[in-house]
Structure 1
Amino acid sequence: MSVNLYNTGVSGLLASQQQLATTGNNIANVNTEGYTRQRAEQNATTGIYAGGNFIGSGTYIEDISRVYDQFSYKEQLLSQTSLSHADSLNVGLSQLDQMMTFSGGAINTSITSFYEAINSISDNPSDLGLRNMAISQAQILSDDLNSINDNLNQIVKSTNGEIAEIAGHISDISAEIGKINEQILFSQHSVQGQPNDLLDARDSLVNELSQYTSVNTIVDNLGVMTVMIGNGSTLVAGTTALSVGVQAGDPDPNKTVLSIVGPNSAVYLNGSTVGGVLAAKYEFRDEHVAEVQSEMNRIAMAISGTINDAQHSGLDLNNEEGQNFFTDINTPLLEQSRVFASSKNPGTSEASVTITDITKVPTDEFMVEFDGTNYTMTNLKDNSTLDLGTPGSLNTNAADTYGFQFNEDSGTPAAGDVFIIKPTHNSAALMDVTLTQASGLAASSAIDVTASTTNIGGASVEISNVIGATDARQYAIDNNLAVDIYETTPGSFAYRVYDSSTSTDIATGSYVLGGSVSVELPPGVADFSIEIQGNPSGASAIAPETFSIADSFGTGNNKNSLALGLTQEQGILNNGKDSFTQGLSISTATVGSAAKSAELTESTAQALFTQAYNRNQSTSGVNLDEEAANLLKYQQAYQAASQIISTANTIFETLLSAVR
């Protein structure tokens, strides 16, 4: 009996010793990141049958297990992914907001200063000093737009670098998890019990991985983990660790793409849907930065195109048609840079995009696909489509809808050809002041309308658009242009444009009282247009009301500079709704709003993660108060087991003394 009692005491002593060791290990690792609280699983040994009864024979430690709640751990992983995504996006948008606040303010100031210089020319059109000042302010404006484009390009480059760095981290984590899986598999074959430290190390790696991307894991009956990221792409398959590769985008090389790389193949990985920091980088680059850059390009394009058109409408100090103030928005380099062809295109086609109407050009990107018969263009923002026609017979659908024309430049298309179109691309980067001579600034109007002194009605004729100042002026001189508005029958009116020297009609038509009629001159060629409007007199005795159109050049003529100055407040962007400064303000405000929203989202994600982390720690984390209580309990058990052994020893000594 003393022997059994001795064995029972020893088993209790050893069990308590292991309980104390486990508790001590928990306490020692209370501040160890990723440590999961361990527990010694104690069971009773099988009783010994004696005297018709089963007599207990002690205890043993079956296993040292982790106190692990799979569901709270999964919740923590998901919350970590959301928090990392929100935090990364918040940091990026804050940076973009600061840049737009500073650079946007500088551009707005430059626009204002440029127009102030233009308006000062209206006061003294022949002053070369004022003209040089306008050119200098134009260069500052151009430089500011170049600068913000460079800054945005740098942000894109930096973001691509961060994506590549994250991909490298993910690959390293994958390799480490594969190694740990191999060690766990070996330990399961060689010894009993869980390799808790290896499991903690693996979970720590998965937790780190969840910062970069969303993670899903499956553990088999041997304890080996399969890790999937994003929408189910396998990163670690047992002991086989795959890596994440980064390649230049196709057709846009600045949009780097990801792939899961194995020993013999690579599979595309959609970076925008993988979650975590990685998805935030893609969202920041492809949505927020891309939208701002496209808007800045559109503003640069609108300023260049509008000012250049105004220059061509007037005459400079040399009595010549004004030339481009800024870089032409449809130079071959700009037209070609707006189209990105896929390197996988089976055809040899090269294409370009010509801007036809600045007011209609959006900031969206488009994809053009050739199916072997037709070109189809898809707006990548709303997925709406347009038929562009067949090779050699392209229609104007894109120009009519979006203000740009897709051109076939050379080569032969083939089914499967794909092109990406960025209508505003490079407009800010390539913007420059091309007007170098102060005398070349076109302040004078080319032609003007003069009403007859006999007119007493309310009709008016105005020059509404001058496409080519030199041609318009010469046409007015050659044809001695005049306009009559008269009553044909009571209440009915007509107009005619004619050569006053020969009374030869050039254009005629009816006119509705109080209405408006636009007339292109010459008809069908349109060097310029006139607008007839108002209320002519209905009294036939004083009809017609007559207007003459003639050359108006003069060094003191400021009408074209006045018209140029009015473009500052003119609706140009978004189908003529917004001016340059309004478009800039909207873009700045949009970034600011997105930054504020990201900040609020980050705060919410932080609160949710804290809750999930605390829930997981309440189960798996080390509680010092609890461990202190356990330490006391197991110490008492150890002492009690020692007493059992002491008692067994006393009994054994008594028995020996009895038989001596």
Structure 2
Amino acid sequence: MASLYSIGLSGLQSSTARITTTGQNTANVDTEGYSRQTTSTVSQSGGGVLIQNTDRIVNQYINQQVWSDTSSYSFYESYHSMMTSFDAVIGEDSVSISTYLDNAFSALQTANADPTDTAARSNAYSNFKQLASQYNDLANYISDQRTLANEELESSVDAINNLTSQIANLNKQIYKLETTTSSSANELRDQQEQLVKELSEYLDIKVNYDDSELMTVNLASGQPLVLQSTNNELRLTSNTNNPDGELGIELDFGKYELNIPTDELGGSIGGLVEFRNEFITTAERMLGQQALVFADVMNQQNQLGLDANGDYGINLFSTAEIEVSANAKNSNEDSGVEVRVTAGASSEITTDTYEIEMMSSTTFKLVTYDLDGNVTSESETIDTATATPTSDGYYEVDGFGVEISFDSLPSYALGDRYQFAPTKNAAESIKMTARSGDYLALSAPIAVSSASTNLSDVAISISSITNTDSSTSAFTTSGGLYSAAPQSLYFTASDAVEIRDGSGTVLATLTGITDYSNLLEQAGLAEDAGYDISLDGTPVAGDSFSITFNSDGESDNYNGLKLANLQTENTVEGSKSFTSAFSSLVTEVGSLTATLSTNMDASETIMNKSIAARDQVSAVSLDEEAVNLLRYQQSYTASAQVLSAAQSTFATLISALG
């Protein structure tokens, strides 16, 4: 009888335990992260059933896949979210640089129609000033996006450290519960895995379990975030000398810190870092390149004309000085360099990072790197002992568009390095320095004419103005031409000409002429003069032509048309106009946004499939639990009947003995 009682009682206990487990599953059907539980039993020697553990039904491989796919989706979602708002602004016509360029150059053309019209000049000036201001506004917007990404990254790092602290604390609780009692810490493990899922939204992580079945969490690159009851905190790092430079991540191990590869972070924080470090930097430099080139070519062309007051043109725009960062390992931290754009060579400037590398105390070379750190170009070694500097001590690096000045050359040593990005701050700093429309140099500095006694009807025209600097051209400081400059042409035959200076002295003679364009260049005089002329036909002997300073050229628009033509010239890197360069930025933004949208949708589909696979294994099915509940209820009733039968049999036996 004792055996029958034992069998019935163990059956009741087993059914009760399973009903309890079923009730727990049913109660948590909507609990996020809950893993379905099952209570296992075995038949025991001597009869009856023995209750074993109540375990979660989980597949760690599928769980890891869910976390990995969640990280992938979060990466694209966070990156796409930042890009979508950026695309909405940069692609808007009302803020487009192209719109402002069209307005400014259209107003310039109106001024060219009548260079004496003060109102037209003022309108052109106002539109160019607005253009510069729009460069500033867009650059500030890009900077604001970097700040926003910084703030979100700081918030994310705090959240990550909080999650890893909770996971480590749960490891401690799980270990204590499972080593001091016979209970399984199922609910604690569910909480821990839910925290890991939240963590995977921020980072790409890998989860393992040690010999005590305690969770270990590592970054995808292998560095440990959680080891048993200890978590290692993440921190953001940046260059204090360049707060807008690349942002890094380091892992704090207490006694030391370890830099984490930012391209392997994954999750939303990886998307934010890539948006901030790569896209924002690219956009900032592309816009800066346009502003830098625009300021340079407009300034150079304006200097080749005469303004409304008959004075030589001045610089219309300015940009901030190029910031140079010295390498922390340089031999002399006090030694510095200065860099500027070579006037008229801005088309050579790229969006790369430039690095000056000292080959000795007096020699250096310039190397450029793309944003991935790959070398894109390298200059010849320049020896300052033999190279000729500019009048103010700068050394030009041919083909790179920059000039470099050193503090004190003996203080430099082999291996010293200095980095700069010429285009970085140009858009945010460009401004119109000219004070009014009168400073638009629309007139040519020379006037040309045909003698009234000429027998032919050949006309003379200006073919080019290349230099108005009084120290290197035919133009005087006060406004005029030096007496020794080419000022007249006299044809002794239809194919022979004498080029004379202001006093009538013959400077050069050309014979056998077949091409009447750029005659001063053919005579070898154009470079020193700073100008050249052409004829539109074949003159006859006795024809003469004069070249004078354009002191009465208020109505002339020769240089104004040259300024206007800059809108469509391929000045940015020698291959794009201002408008097409900005369109390239808009296209890159739109293309990247579209690509991220596609990747986000695809990764979301994959993530949802992984979650569905996890739910198929671990989620609660009410239908299945209803069937189990009915089965365990029947088992309970049967076990109760066994006990009742045992009691009745025992009572009958007692009565028989009595």
Query: What is the identity, as a one-letter code, of the residue corresponding to 1:21?
Result: T
Q: Equivalent residue for 1:53?
A: none
Deviation at 1:456, TM superposition (A): 8.0
Residue 204 to residue 33, structure 1, CA distance change in 2 (3 Å):
same
Query: Which residue matches 2:297?
Result: 306
Q: Deviations over 1:201-247 (max 9, x none)?
A: 11111111111110012211201222111411111122221101123
TM-score, scaled relative to structure 2: 0.88
Where does 1:643-654 land on structure 2 (aligned, <5 Å)? Answer: 643-654=641-652
Give the one of 248, 256, 268 matched to 1:265: 256
Letter in 1 for 2:339: V
2:16 and 2:475 mapped to 1: Cα distance?
108
Opposite residue 220 of structure 1, the aligned amino acid is D
Residue 351 of structure 2 corresponds to residue 363 of structure 1: yes
Percentage of identical aligned residues: 24
Going from structure 1 to structure 2, the CA distance change for 1:391 and 1:156 (only over 3 Å counts) comes to farther
CA shift at 1:515, angstroms?
Answer: 9.4
The 1-side partners of 2:206 and 2:554 are apart by: 76
Answer yes or no: is 1:413 the counterpart of 2:412: yes
* Candidates 353, 357, 360, aligned match of 2:339: 353
Instruction: Name the structure 2 match of 1:51.
Output: none
Letter paired with 2:381 = G
Q: Tell me which moved more, 387-396 or 225-234.
A: 387-396
Give the one of 376, 381, 384 matched to 2:376: 384
| Correspondence for 2:606 among 608, 611, 616 | 608
Residue 432 of structure 1 is matched in structure 2 by 431
* Structure 2 counterpart of 1:463: 464
Per the alignment, residue 98 of structure 2 pairs with 108
Q: 1:317 to 1:26 in 2, by over 3 A?
A: same
CA distance in 2: counterparts of 1:521 and 1:513, whole angstroms: 12
Residues 460 and 545, structure 2, Cα contact 8 Å, conserved in 1 = no
Compared CA separation, residues 481 and 189, structure 1 to 2 (3 A): same
Measured after TM superposition, the shift of residue 526 of structure 1 is: 4.5
In the TM superposition, what are the counterparts of 1:544-555 in structure 2 within 5 Å? 548-553=546-551, 554-555=553-554
Q: Calculate the TM-score normalised by the size of structure 1.
A: 0.88
* TM-fit CA distance, 1:150: 1.1
**Which residue type is aligned with residue 591 of structure 2?**
S
CA contact (8 A) 1:321 1:469 kept: no
* Shift, 1:593, TM fit: 1.5
1:78 shift after superposition: 1.0
Q: Deviations over 1:9-31 (max 9, x none)?
A: 11111111111111111111111
Post-superposition offset of 1:248: 2.5
- The 5-angstrom pairing of residues 228-247 of structure 1 reads 228-247=218-237
Query: Contact between 1:388 and 1:394, CA under 8 Å: does it hold in 2?
Result: no
CA contact (8 A) 1:446 1:472 kept: no
C-alpha separation in 2, matches of 1:285 and 1:221: 41
Tell me the SS of whatever aligns to 1:428. Answer: helix
Tell me, what secondary structure is at the counterpart of 2:347?
Answer: helix
Determine the structure 1 residue equivalent to 2:20.
21
CA distance in structure 2 between the aligned counterparts of 1:485 and 1:21, rounded to whole angstroms = 117
Which of residues 179, 184, 203 in structure 2 aligns to 1:189? Answer: 179
Match in the other structure for 1:52: none
User: For the residues of structure 1 that align with 2:32 and 2:436, how far apart are their CA atoms?
Assistant: 69
Q: 1:394–1:417: structure 2 CA closer, same or farther, 3 Å change rule?
A: farther
Q: Given that residues 468 and 475 in structure 2 are in contact (C-alpha distance below 8 angstroms), is that contact kept between their aligned partners in structure 1?
A: no
Q: Is the 8 A contact 1:521 1:527 kept in 2?
A: no
CA contact (8 A) 1:34 1:204 kept: yes
Does 1:209 pair with 2:196?
Answer: no
Matches of 2:61 and 2:528 in 1, distance apart? 74
The whole-number CA distance in structure 2 between the counterparts of 1:636 and 1:14 is 13
Moved more, 476-485 or 629-638: 476-485
Indicate the structure with greater strand content: 1
Quote the residue 2:530 is aligned against: 528
Write the distance in 2 (CA, Å) between the matches of 1:17 and 1:531: 108
Structure-2 change in CA distance of 1:4 and 1:154 (3 Å): same
Question: RMSD between aligned alpha carbons?
Answer: 3.3
Query: Greater shift after overlay, 435-444 or 68-77?
Result: 435-444
Structure 2 gaps, min length 5 = 388-393
Structure 1 unmatched runs, 5+ = 49-56
Q: Is the 8 A contact 2:203 2:265 kept in 1?
A: yes
1:179 aligns with 2:165: no
Partners of 1:646 and 1:371 lie apart in 2 by: 100
Shift of 1:441: 2.4
Find the counterpart in structure 1 of residue 521 from structure 2: 519
Aligned residues: 635
* Most deviating of 25-34 and 495-504: 495-504
In 1, distance between residues paired with 2:107 and 2:433?
17
Name the stretch that deviates more: 346-355 or 453-462: 453-462
Q: Which of 209, 219, 243 is equivalent to 1:219?
A: 209
1:127 aligns with 2:79: no
Provide the rounded CA distance (Å) in 2 between the counterparts of 1:32 and 1:546. 99
What is the CA–CA distance in structure 1 between the aligned matches of 2:533 and 2:240, rounded to whole Å? Answer: 49
Q: Which amino acid aligns with 1:352?
A: E
- Which amino acid letter does the alignment assign opposite residue 353 of structure 2? E
